[in-house]
Chains A and B, each alone.
Chain A
Amino acid sequence: MKSIALTSVALLCAVLIYSTMGFPAWGDSDSPASTHVSDYYIENAVNDTAVPNLVTAVLADYRGYDTLFETTVVLIAGLACFFLLRRFKPRQPQHRLYRHIDTGITLIIEQGGKEPTDSEEFVRIDSRWVPYDLVIQQASCLVIPFLQLFALYVIAHGHHSPGGGFQGGVIFGATIILMAIANDLRSAARRVSERLGALMASAGVLIYAGIGALCILLGGSFLDYSALSKLFAFTPVMARSHGILGVEIGVAVAVSAVMIWIYYNLASAGRHEEGL
């Protein structure tokens, strides 16, 4: 079986490598991919949308439909993880572990025993022992606010520098995941609960589609942001620029929430109780 796979894959690679002789050379500016519509984008994007970052302009304006449905695909992936894994019936473990914060003593409470509430004194810890790692916790505490600020910068500055909704959203989601890894799943879920994540994921797609629908209401076609100039005091070109920003915010909200949501479901195998 393995030899059949190896020979067929090697044969395919050989055929493909032979066929590359007809491909355009590396760095060829006249290659089919770099002519036609691409030249139009480069030469006219600034005049059309006032966005110097061509990737952002093409992503959110010229190819707005594509990005809308990519965002929907991301939302559907989050929903698929939720429906595949989520279990609402809480498991009854043999025992639960609590740590007394001042002394660092670990309490094992058998099933049916009286459990302390999470408070200033006691904190619940995962039953698969998690080291009480002060350095990692404090370092992540220091780093996370700046990472989140950077994520917001990447979203907001996507018009002029590399960045935008997808990148900033993933960075923002990664900060929450970092919090879940450095502490535990419950402390991350106290800040961004599953319900908030699901709402944000849906709201992000809704913002995107809502801006598109608003353009229809104002007399343009779907996702034609220049129609927004009737509502606000923009020129049509600046309206397209601001419409792109609104759409990028929607993408960022959806993507960050879905990343967090997928992580919660995967890390705890759907129980949201004890994670990595």
Chain B
Amino acid sequence: MEELAAVFVARYNYWGVIILMGIGLYAMIAKTNMVKKIIGMNIFQTAIILFYISTAAKYGASIPIIAHGHGAQGHGIRAADYMNPLPHVLMLTAIVVSVATLGVALALAVRVYWNYDSLEEDEILNQIKAGQLNRK
């Protein structure tokens, strides 16, 4: 039992990420509404962000800002005292880019709605098969 608890404590961040990723992936595959697909994509992105951030953690470490760093020399800084800054950097940009891609995805959805008057995948497919593209 204690072994199981130790495994859980050491790995639960990955499991949470994988479950979140599965939810996003399922929404992208199975949902027919385009906005729901976009929301699924965003959940997927959130899972990736969480994964990266959780790999940055170290036991007993503080945030990646050097304490009393202003004007001080960097001697005696131990890497184990500060969290890994690299995943934070990567995800900082990824969050902003994900917002921007969300905007583009929603813009594409608006364009699809203009052309087909629908956001449901099956209805759009039926319209394409029937060859009725109402250009506006």
Determine whether the beta carbon of A5 is less than 8 Å from that of B96: no
* Total residue contacts A-B, CB cutoff 8 A: 177
Fill in one digit per residue for A241-271: 1 if any B CB lies within 8 Å of its CB, else 0.
Answer: 0000000000000010011001001100110
Q: Quick one: which of B5-57 are within 8 Å of A by CB? A: 7, 9-15, 18-19, 21-22, 25-26, 29-30, 54-57
Q: Quick one: which of A182-209 are within 8 Å of B by CB? A: none
Cα separation A156 to B70 with both chains bound (whole Å): 15
Cα separation A54 to B61 with both chains bound (whole Å): 14
Total interface residues in chain B, CB < 8 Å: 59
Provide the residues of chain A in CB contact with B65, threshold 8 Å. 52-55, 160-162
Total interface residues in chain A, CB < 8 Å: 68
Provide the residues of chain A in CB contact with B26, threshold 8 Å. 5-6, 9
Cα separation A88 to B27 with both chains bound (whole Å): 35
Determine whether the beta carbon of B57 is less than 8 Å from that of A262: no
Fill in one digit per residue for A1-45: 1 if any B CB lies within 8 Å of its CB, else 0.
Answer: 110011011101100110011011111110101100111011111
The answer to whether A80 has its CB under 8 Å from any CB of chain B is yes
Determine whether the beta carbon of B104 is less than 8 Å from that of A74: no
Q: Is the interface of B mostly helix, strand, loop or mixed?
A: helix
Cα separation A70 to B99 with both chains bound (whole Å): 12
Q: Quick one: which of A48-80 are within 8 Å of B by CB? A: 51-55, 57-59, 63, 66-67, 70, 73-74, 77-78, 80
Cα separation A8 to B30 with both chains bound (whole Å): 11
The answer to whether A85 has its CB under 8 Å from any CB of chain B is yes
Given contacts A20-B18, A46-B69, A78-B100, contact A27 B58 (CB under 8 A): yes
Cα separation A37 to B86 with both chains bound (whole Å): 9
User: 25 A-B Cβ contacts within 8 A?
Assistant: A5-B30, A6-B26, A9-B22, A10-B22, A12-B25, A17-B14, A17-B15, A20-B14, A21-B11, A23-B14, A26-B13, A34-B79, A38-B85, A42-B77, A43-B78, A46-B73, A46-B74, A47-B74, A54-B85, A77-B100, A81-B103, A81-B104, A81-B107, A85-B111, A170-B96
**What 4 A-B pairs come out closest when comparing CB atoms?**
A52-B69, A77-B100, A25-B10, A46-B74
Instruction: Give the interface of A toward B (CB within 8 A).
Output: 1-2, 5-6, 8-10, 12-13, 16-17, 20-21, 23-29, 31, 33-34, 37-39, 41-47, 51-55, 57-59, 63, 66-67, 70, 73-74, 77-78, 80-81, 84-85, 160-162, 164, 166-167, 170, 255, 258-259, 262, 265-266, 269-270
